[in-house]
Structure 1
């Protein structure tokens, strides 16, 4: 349901707009024409696009774009033993989606989690967990993995710890994905930003080995059973992550070990593409075991900021016949020469403070672009995905980044790293924007 073309649903707002249109036409011929126009505008079937901050690259900080009590909620995921003390699941890079499986909607949730005793998902964590539900509000249960690994922690579908499950012709954990040790960090090896996709009646899990791994980059697993697995590594990742290596990441990453991160899967009809990092993509082979080989990965045709900052968490969502390209961008706060506050998607620099980890979005008629200028779709909602529920409602995930900025403040950190959902609104076939649902 994340990839289909969707029709326009006729609802109460559309009916009200039709009534208002007929009344407004008569009123416009009177001396009260301006008032009638304002009333008609207030009952249009779609909310309006907001004017963009100027110049291009400024962040839209309006409170209406925040996840709030009236437009969002935290998923009530089933707790694991490690979650009992906190009373909820600690999660970054929250991913939620809805798929039709055997004629019924199935909701899935996953994300980056941490091990007991650590305050972050680094320098190591112990794998990927999956939750499922038949309704967005729950109950959300851990995937039943007990038939695959009796006695193991329920819901863990993949981990570097599963290296002992490798068999000739079937690799679950590649050598570059295993836990390892060094003198600087001790135990190392973390996995982050998982996404679960249902394509051609199979489950695919795309994720990324993180900065503390032997090789850093995106990989894909395929289930040999249901959503709970068992999962194995696709053949294209036996020796390395997808794509070619390049210099990137923190200084402690060995040269040649860094590949494109935050991989995502986009599918349409019977074809699928891998979306990587912040600007490139690749088509999957028909057997889904690897990407189609190419000399250089193709790039999305985007409208970059000037200068372009570091972006991550790329994701493509199709709705209303348009393609939406999502990125996570840090809104950095600084001071203008006149003393006023500047909030912008600037690169790091002197006197620039990371504030909010926003979701910025651009729209195009084609998957590869060209994409429009970006706009702020959700404040503090970066590194997310968009999806449609089985009633046609639109949603975005969020998690409140605990590493830096607003949610890292000691007064707020207890409410950070959550499996959050915020309602979206579409501005229609003329506006073609998706925003966190605004108050008006």
Structure 2
């Protein structure tokens, strides 16, 4: 997950962008305010419990280096950037038929939403939390649900100040002093709970393990030595039989973990990827960031997030082997972003969602979109969505 691109980058990205909402947005956006001199007085490092969604859940948050914007039923906190919301969540993806009507799972400020099914059969949700992750947060927060509808807050399960080691150092990115966890994921592998994470400062990715076998921890560094695993961002784990794999960022490389999860069993292997012949995707890796990896009916699905036609979407390619070659690249969930796919207790498949572009119906709130699989294995969004706005 990278910071939201500049207005100039979006407006000059070429014909691939959908310009209708962007043009209106550019006309209405005001210059950002002067940088805050005391960010600690402005931003909270946690998102907190959240609450049930009222109405269609539209609006939300737009965080970034220039500050934080909010549109919703509550007053914005003192010090937040309060320029006009404009077209930052138009819902054009729904209006144009790319997505059926959907709404958030929970009213909560959360980016990079990830949901996993734990060993107890419950759903656990993590993500980039806190008021503004381009400045700071306190660590990793966790939520739990029995039915995806109501969420209990388990609190801060890993803290920079209480639990951090090498992660404690403050860093700089774009001349901004910052310390925040980006895109943490709770993973249940080898009958224990692990947290993958990356740091906003660019310090790299890491892996934590529960010392109690419980999702709420406490957590300690899993890998030895106690240091980062890789550079970059957006780490994830995938369990396949008795093997566990690690990938990150664009999904360009995949590493086999040691049996005791203390590090890599050899060097990461570069993924084989065949770009689509129609030119719809020209990068050498499947995605731009937000790597995800899962398996269905013997096929491996490697994906992540990509700005595609102006949407921050979930994109995926398919292979017969974990290292590829991956083919059939496609935009799986428009506006889906760099999150993950999970299978619910009834066997249905979902893509997590948080909203990170102007075509989304909301921004920076946790969501989940029901998905299905076409005859050729490609992912398609189900027409019937359990989390739809009230009529």
| Counterparts in 2 of 1:182 and 1:282: CA distance versus 1, 3 Å | closer
1:174 equivalent in alignment to 2:165: yes
Higher share in helix: 1
Q: Which entry has the higher C-alpha Rg, 1 or 2? A: 1
Choose from 272, 277, 282 the match for 1:301. Answer: 272
Question: Pick from 407, 420, 423: which aligns with 2:367?
Answer: 420
2:130 matched to which residue of 1?
114
Normalised TM-score (structure 2)? 0.68
Q: How far does the alpha carbon of each residue in 1:393-431 deviate from its partner, in whole angstroms, 9 at most, with x for none?
A: 111111111xx6545xxxx7xx3101011110112xx42
- Give 3-state SS (helix, strand or coil) of 2:224's partner: helix
CA contact (8 A) 1:357 1:382 kept: yes
Q: 2:290 aligns with which of 313, 330, 341?
A: 313
Report the Cα offset of residue 284 of structure 1.
0.6
Mapping 1:27-426, distance limit 5 Å: 63-66=96-99, 68-69=100-101, 72-76=102-106, 88-101=107-120, 105-115=121-131, 120-137=132-149, 139-143=150-154, 155-162=155-162, 172-175=163-166, 177-180=167-170, 187-210=177-200, 212=201, 216-225=203-212, 226-236=214-224, 238-239=226-227, 241-243=228-230, 259-278=231-250, 279-294=252-267, 297-304=268-275, 305-308=281-284, 311-331=288-308, 343=309, 355-401=310-356, 405-406=358-359, 415-426=362-373
Q: TM-score, normalised by structure 1?
A: 0.60
Query: 1:73: Cα distance to partner?
Result: 3.7
- Aligned-residue RMSD, C-alpha: 2.7
2-side partners of 1:385 and 1:183: how far apart? Answer: 26
Q: Shift in Å at residue 114 of structure 1?
A: 1.7
Cα offsets for 1:56-79 (capped at 9, x unmatched)? x9799794432x33xx44223xxx
Distance in structure 1 (CA, Å) of the matches to 2:174 and 2:322: 43
Count how many residue pairs are aligned between Structure 1 and Structure 2: 288
In structure 2, the gaps of 5 or more residues are 1-14, 19-92, 276-280, 386-391
**Is the contact made by 1:179 and 1:188 (CA closer than 8 Å) also made in structure 2?**
no
Gaps of 5+ in 1: 1-56, 77-87, 144-154, 163-171, 244-258, 332-342, 344-354
Q: Measured at CA, do residues 238 and 330 of structure 1 come closer, stay the same or move farther in structure 2, by a change above 3 Å?
A: same
Displacement after TM superposition at 1:187 (Å): 4.9
- Give the deviation of 1:220 after TM superposition: 0.6
Can you list the C-alpha shifts for 1:29-51, whole angstroms capped at 9, x where unaligned? xxxxxxxxxxxxxxxxxxxxxxx
| 8 A Cα contact 1:59 1:376, kept in partner | no
